[in-house]
């Protein structure tokens, strides 16, 4: 695929500076730019690259003022990062082999009672169970399992190896990456007098609302009773564990290796860093921000507040504590020296007051 600077500018409603006939066929980072590539400049700390890059076209902000000559063609837009993101999405759609495919590849199994919408693609070795409903323009790639009575909306994309357990409900425009499991058993066991554990039946389901994206190798457990909810617009990274009856609020973002324990509720527009652990039966306020590797063992009520550390504490307190933590070895050494000095002074005083024989 090849585009001119003018075509790109027209698509982004931008303004051109330079050769509008310059052509590009690839996207790249500005520091790796070469002839025939398109890149962008948003963060000013990368400005020096625009004077040395070999990229043919660079997207910049309307307010960008170069301090040196620029050899590439510039396309000026209001928000370079967002504009480049749009182009990345279009480029990805063009590369995505599932975008235009329709029909059912063989071998695969689709139960006669399943309802399949228009322009749906089902890849080879997939299994569509009884009572499943799949909306129009949804793409199910290879080796996907969809359990009985599950409902899938329109324009969804499931990548290879996705497993959807029975009675799951998934909205429209949901993207689920490879080997993710939706609706596996919640972790529920009752301790017995003899020290063993008896499994508690998990009879609920998982509900994923519209415009959600879920990364690879993530597991979302079905509810013990009722539903586990992933609300509209949520973005989940790879390798995340969402336990039974959790409710993740709208437009929240969760980074990799985070675990959210059973029955906890995450407020809308929350941001959770990588490797965060959240205990069960908690409620996090709207807009809560949690730094990487934090441990949350309490509910929060203040909106848009930042928490760091384990156990977590407000950002400002955590920063102070971090400074003190780095000073601990020196503090311990000084205390040891003071104790030794006090002991020595005490011994000298005792010696000086002892009567002569």
Q: For residue 157, list its beta bridge partners.
A: 139, 175
- Are the C-beta atoms of residues 240 and 261 closer than 8 Å to each other? no
φ, ψ of residue 196 to 5 degrees: the values are -90, 180
The DSSP output letter for 340 is: H
Cα angle 127-259-165, degrees, rounded to a multiple of 5 = 15
φ, ψ of residue 132 to 5 degrees: the values are -75, 145
Cα separation, 268 vs 246, whole angstroms: 13
- Are the C-beta atoms of residues 46 and 28 closer than 8 Å to each other? no
Could you tell me how many residues make up the chain? Answer: 357
Buried/exposed code over 65-86 (b: 16+ C-beta within 10 A; e: otherwise): eeeeebebbbbbbeebeebbee
Catalytic annotation present for 177: no
Cα separation, 251 vs 266, whole angstroms: 11
Of 54, 244, 281, 308, catalytic: 244
Taking CA atoms, 303 is separated from 35, 145, 261, 293, 300, in Å, by 48, 39, 21, 20, 8
Cα separation, 343 vs 267, whole angstroms: 56
Within 8 A by CB and 6+ apart from 69, the residues are 51
> In this structure, what token pair is assigned to residue 40?
């962008």
Cα separation, 20 vs 5, whole angstroms: 5
Catalytic residue annotation: 244
């Amino acid at each position: 695929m090849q585009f001119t600077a003018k075509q790109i500018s027209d698509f982004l409603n931008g303004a051109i500076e330079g050769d509008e006939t310059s052509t590009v066929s690839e996207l790249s980072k500005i520091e790796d730019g070469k002839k025939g590539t398109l890149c962008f400049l948003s963060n000013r700390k990368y400005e020096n690259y625009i004077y040395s890059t070999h990229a043919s076209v660079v997207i910049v902000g309307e307010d960008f003022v170069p301090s040196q000559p620029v050899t590439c063609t510039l396309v000026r837009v209001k928000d370079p990062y967002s504009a480049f993101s749009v182009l990345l999405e279009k480029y990805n759609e063009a590369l995505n082999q599932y975008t235009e495919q329709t029909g059912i590849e063989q071998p695969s199994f689709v139960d006669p009672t399943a309802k399949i919408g228009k322009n749906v693609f089902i890849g080879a070795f997939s299994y569509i169970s009884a009572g499943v409903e799949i909306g129009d323009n949804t793409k199910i790639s290879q080796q996907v399992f969809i359990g009985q009575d599950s409902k899938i909306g329109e324009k969804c994309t499931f990548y290879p190896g996705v497993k959807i357990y029975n009675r799951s409900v998934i909205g429209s425009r949901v993207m689920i990456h490879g080997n993710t499991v939706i609706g596996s058993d919640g972790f529920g066991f009752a301790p017995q007098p003899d020290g063993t554990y008896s499994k508690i039946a998990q009879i609920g389901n998982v509900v994923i609302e519209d415009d959600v994206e879920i990364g690879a190798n993530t597991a979302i457990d079905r509810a013990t009773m009722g539903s586990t909810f992933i609300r509209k617009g949520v973005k989940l990274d790879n390798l995340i564990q969402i336990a039974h009856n959790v409710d993740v609020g709208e437009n929240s973002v969760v980074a990799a290796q985070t675990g959210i324990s059973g029955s906890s509720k995450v407020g809308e527009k929350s941001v959770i860093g990588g490797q965060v652990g959240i205990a069960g039966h908690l409620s996090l306020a709207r807009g809560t921000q949690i730094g990487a590797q934090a441990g949350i063992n309490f509910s929060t009520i203040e909106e848009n507040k930042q928490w760091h550390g384990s156990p977590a504490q407000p950002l400002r307190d955590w920063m102070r504590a971090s400074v003190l933590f780095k000073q601990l070895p020196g503090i311990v050494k000084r205390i040891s020296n003071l104790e030794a000095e006090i002991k020595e002074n005490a011994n000298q005083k005792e010696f000086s007051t002892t009567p002569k024989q």
